[in-house]
Amino acid sequence: MDFLPVFQKVKGRLCLVVGGGAVGTRKAGVLLEAGAKVRVVAPEIDDELKSNANVEAVVARFEAKHLDGVTLIIAATNDRSVNKQVSELAQARNIPVNVVDDPELCSFIMPAILDRSPLMVAFSSGGASPVLTRMMRGKLESIIPHNFKRLAQFAERFRELVKQRVTNPPKRRLFWEDVLEGVIAEKVLSGDEAGGEALLREMLDKEDNVLHGEVYLVGAGPGDPDLLTFRALRLMQKADVVVYDNLVSKPIVEMTRRDAERIYVGKKRDDHTLPQEEINLLLVRLAKEGKRVLRLKGGDPFIFGRGGEEIETLAAEGIAFQVVPGITAASGVASYAGIPLTHRDHAQSCIFVTGHLKDGTMNLDWDALARPKQTVVVYMGLRGLDTLCAELVKHGMPDTTPIAIVQHGTQPTQRVITGTLATLPAIAEREKPQAPTLIIIGGVVTLREKLAWFHP
């Protein structure tokens, strides 16, 4: 370790910035954000900076006397001899000094920061690679969402109260872990601070300080783990129990917390491992045991996913839940198959339907589907392919209309089979695509010849 990371208090103290260019101005801005008073010394100084009440603008060349009374110094001129002079004078007086982009002249370096005040993350490569540091920040940005600020402020607000009420330190640590990882944190993160506060007080009042669990209804997208949202990933790594069905790809299930209990509830067509009502009740029971339950669904939970029914039961039982959207099969599969769902030359609208057959019939509004300049996406349609093609033609769609079947879209086993309304049923009979498959109908299918980019 070449440097000792510390967080220095500059609130109300005088700091010096030498240099009035873009860099100096930016550094002065950071110091002001941390509550410092800033003396800026430069032949020319930015007007906005000059008019800031906490800035003492000294329009002049740097002189030793400018160091008087300062706590911390940043030199950012484009003249190395000036920077060197500032550094030497500062170090002679034991005042911490940073010279921008010149580690040799620094007694301290400025880290990259991620500001979720009061939560602060500062990191540095010790000047070895600013690009690496920036990339690291990007990664952290994604796992520490912006609203963590709220959570940190919330924790700060109740710190004293919890200290008074939960006096045993190890117990208090567990209490805070529950708060910051559980229902309360989720409430605060989603903007409901009052709700979070009510639950925190309820938890304090309970003998064992334990609350009900909660359910995260999370869309896992069409299969490629890269298509998960940040929020999905965060909740996946937090849940105690994972309830998933066969549409969720294996690599995604494996990204859930290692020690989480995993419950498979099946749901292949006509082979319902657990009926929907039992899944609904299972979620309720697990949450009532105090667990954080991840209900992981393929695609988006609110698109042909029966997500609405699952949370209706939760709502009726007063269990906290949140819904995380996912990339639905139509948009994931279309992208990876090189078929834009709309296109100025081919389709001004796009319609999603489910082709699930009840008693061998497909109950769809065929006239609405057969309209020109429209893309039709059919979920769960493979078994009814013959009926689908025949009905569309019967209702006026030309039998030369292009149509594609995409098997296992976005996954390494993706396959795209194309034809027309007239030819595809026979082609599919021969090619035997494997579920899940999505059917896309319309002129946009021809664009695939030019736009396909994913070649598993």
Q: Which two tokens stand for residue 365?
A: 């509004």
* CB-count exposure of residue 427 (10 Å: 0-12, 13-18, 19+): middle
Distance CA 261, CA 271 (A): 23
Distance CA 392, CA 396 (A): 7
Residue 188 or 296 having the CB closest to ligand SAH: 296
Nearest-CB residue for ligand SAH: 299
Give me the phi and psi of 250, to 5 degrees please.
Answer: -60, -45
Using a CB cutoff of 8 Å and minimum separation of 24, what contacts does 42-50 make? 42/18, 42/77, 44/20, 45/20, 46/20, 49/20, 49/25
| Distance of closest approach, residue 236 Cβ to ligand SAH, in angstroms | 17
Instruction: Spell out the residues 6+ positions from residue 232 whose beta carbon is closer than 8 angstroms to its own.
Output: 218, 219, 220, 221, 324, 326
| Distance of closest approach, residue 377 Cβ to ligand SAH, in angstroms | 9
| Distance of closest approach, residue 452 Cβ to ligand SAH, in angstroms | 15
Known catalytic membership, residue 245? yes
**Do residues 229 and 325 make contact, with C-beta atoms less than 8 angstroms apart?**
yes
- Catalytic site residue from 46, 178, 240, 245: 245
| Distance of closest approach, residue 311 Cβ to ligand SAH, in angstroms | 14
Give me the phi and psi of 354, to 5 degrees please.
Answer: -110, 135
Residue 87 or 414 having the CB closest to ligand SAH: 414
**Integer-rounded Cα radius of gyration of the chain:** 30
| Distance of closest approach, residue 18 Cβ to ligand SAH, in angstroms | 58
3 state SS of 172: helix
Handedness of CA 95, 99, 104, 110 (dihedral sign): positive
Q: Which residues bind ligand SAH (CB under 6 A)?
A: 222-223, 247, 297-300, 303-305, 328-329, 333, 379-380, 406, 408-411, 436-438
3 state SS of 419: strand
The β-bridge partners of 366 are none
| Distance of closest approach, residue 385 Cβ to ligand SAH, in angstroms | 12
Known catalytic membership, residue 149? no
Residue 182 or 381 having the CB closest to ligand SAH: 381
Residue 292 or 297 having the CB closest to ligand SAH: 297
- Catalytic site residue from 27, 37, 267, 297: 267
Residue 105 or 279 having the CB closest to ligand SAH: 279
Residue 41 or 416 having the CB closest to ligand SAH: 416
Whole-number Cα distances in Å, 306 to 66, 219, 221, 302, 391: 69, 12, 15, 7, 27
Do β-strands 72-75 and 241-244 pair in parallel, antiparallel, or remain unpaired? Answer: unpaired
Q: Which two tokens stand for residue 265?
A: 């509830």
Residue 19 or 433 having the CB closest to ligand SAH: 433
| Distance of closest approach, residue 177 Cβ to ligand SAH, in angstroms | 33
Active site residues: 245, 267
